Structure 1
């Protein structure tokens, strides 16, 4: 993996921060493009790394940085379908009020690259079976004990049918990738510790083990800062401890 300072961003206009804030940019660029990506034992494959960063930027509402990172992600081989699936799934974890600008920005960047929209459909469920399929997706992630959770109330039913039935069942990303980006949405926005612990456990159930999740947090640290990164690692450890008690 080779990371270097981006020379031209935002349509070929060089960032004026290199002129106005050279000392800051020298240190920030070193950490973000050299130190973090190359840390021994904390590296991720390019596509996975960019998936995590894009999800994190949506989670922390980092629109300007999202516009800079998305072209790099596409250049690194992340598919337009994967990008759109990240944005779509974000709606259930952040709400359309926070995600709509990212959908519009993604469409604009994709179209500027000559990518025709809409992309190929990825839905696998119908209005009739979305609840059933969503319940199964939840069980595949968290275990069979959650199959009755949808009966606890209408929001639990919506969670099963909409979040899991409408989105987790889509193609374009596999279940482990979807759990990883969910972990990033939750870690980046903060204030969702119970859900973050639960989804850390869900990730581990799907093979995204503790070491992998810490690598994800490490690669996203420049975009969300130290407090939320340390909080995410604490939640990972809580999930591990809870698993040991079962």
Structure 2
């Protein structure tokens, strides 16, 4: 394991999700390490987009898919953590309707209503 990459990922994960992120990846063992290293150590640590912008993109992508509600919950929490409001997240979900359809948007809005 590349310790520098893992440490960079842990730091970025903490910025995005706070302690919730650790709680999500810790039980995943090696898969959790890969998520920390790749998603947060490599992708989320790139320059060019703010964490807020990255969460907007992530929420939109997850809201556009079926069967990923647990991950959507994590990223809605992360969205709040990086400054998105509930109203903004609702708009992000509504924006997915023309491209992904009503069923996925309805599912995503139901997840958002949990908060």
Matched, 1:141 2:27: no
Q: 1:166 to 1:215 in 2, by over 3 A?
A: same
Counterpart CA distance in 2 for 1:177 and 1:140 is: 14
Corresponding position of 2:50? 174
> Secondary structure of the equivalent of 1:189?
coil
Counterpart CA distance in 2 for 1:232 and 1:149 is: 19
1:85-234 correspondence to structure 2 within 5 Å: 127-144=2-19, 146-147=21-22, 151-152=26-27, 153-234=29-110
Corresponding position of 1:74? none
Question: Superposition RMSD on alpha carbons, in Å?
Answer: 1.7
TM-score by length of 1: 0.43
Counterpart CA distance in 1 for 2:108 and 2:19 is: 26
> Secondary structure of the equivalent of 2:46?
coil
Unaligned runs of 5+ in 2: none
How many Å apart are 1:219 and its aligned residue?
Answer: 2.0
Unaligned runs of 5+ in 1: 1-126, 241-246
How many Å apart are 1:147 and its aligned residue?
Answer: 4.2
1:33-52 correspondence to structure 2 within 5 Å: none
How many Å apart are 1:188 and its aligned residue?
Answer: 1.0
More helix by share: 2
Q: 1:148 to 1:133 in 2, by over 3 A?
A: farther
| Highest RCO, 1 vs 2 (Cα 8 Å, sep ≥ 6) | 2
How many Å apart are 1:167 and its aligned residue?
Answer: 0.2
TM-score by length of 2: 0.88
